[in-house]
Amino acid sequence: MPANSWPDNDSYHSNSDPINSLLSELSADTEPEVETDTESLPSSRFQGRRGKAALVLTIVWGSTIALHLVSWSAIFILGLTTILGIHAIRIIFARPRHHSKAMQGDLPSVSILVAAKNEEAVIGRLVKSLCSLEYANGQYEVWIIDDNSTDSTPQLLAQLQEEYKQLNVFRRSPQASGGKSGALNQVLPLTRGEIVAVFDADAQVTPDLLLQVVPLFQKDKVGAVQVRKAIANAKENFWTKGQMAEMAVDTWFQQQRTTIGGIGELRGNGQFVRRQALASCGGWNEETITDDLDLTIRLHLHKWDIECVFYPPVEEEGVTNIVSLWHQRNRWAEGGYQRYLDYWDLILKNRMGTRKTWDLLMFFLTMYILPTAAIPDLLMAIISDRPPILAPVTSLSITMSVVGMFAGLKRIRQDQELKGSTYWLLILQTIRGSLYMLHWLVVMSSTTARMSIRPKRLKWVKTVHTGAH
Nearest residue to 454 (alpha-carbon basis) of 95, 57, 149: 57
Pairing type for strands 110-116 and 167-171 reads unpaired
Report the DSSP beta bridge partners of residue 114.
144, 199
pLDDT at res. 39? 56
In terms of Cβ atoms closer than 10 Å to its own Cβ (0-12, 13-18, 19+), residue 162 is exposed
- The rounded distance, in Å, linking the Cα atoms of 186 and 178 is 9
Instruction: Return the amino acid letter for 206.
Output: T
- The rounded distance, in Å, linking the Cα atoms of 15 and 256 is 40
Chain segment 80-134, per-residue pLDDT in tens = 999 999 999 999 999 887 777 777 878 899 999 999 999 999 999 999 999 999 9
Which pLDDT band holds residue 466 (cuts at 50, 70, 90)?
A: low
Neighbours of 120 (CB within 10 A): 18
- The rounded distance, in Å, linking the Cα atoms of 389 and 444 is 19
In this structure, of 89-93, 97-101, 347-351, 373-377, the range with the lowest mean pLDDT score is 97-101
- Reported pTM: 0.87
In terms of Cβ atoms closer than 10 Å to its own Cβ (0-12, 13-18, 19+), residue 364 is middle
Question: Is the pLDDT higher at 5 or at 240?
Answer: 240
In this structure, of 18-27, 181-190, 246-255, 371-380, the range with the lowest mean pLDDT score is 18-27
Instruction: Return the amino acid letter for 413.
Output: R
Where along the chain do its domains lie? 53-93+219-469
Report the DSSP beta bridge partners of residue 231.
316
Q: Tell me the percentage of the chain whose pLDDT exceeds 70.
A: 87
Neighbours of 209 (CB within 10 A): 26
pLDDT at res. 43? 66
Q: Tell me the percentage of the chain whose pLDDT exceeds 90.
A: 69
Chain segment 45-93, per-residue pLDDT in tens = 888 888 999 999 999 999 999 999 999 999 999 999 999 999 999 999 9
Could you tell me if 195 and 272 are in contact, meaning their C-beta atoms sit under 8 angstroms apart? Answer: yes
In this structure, of 9-13, 61-65, 150-154, the range with the lowest mean pLDDT score is 9-13
Chain segment 231-254, per-residue pLDDT in tens = 999 999 999 999 999 999 999 999
- The rounded distance, in Å, linking the Cα atoms of 414 and 236 is 24
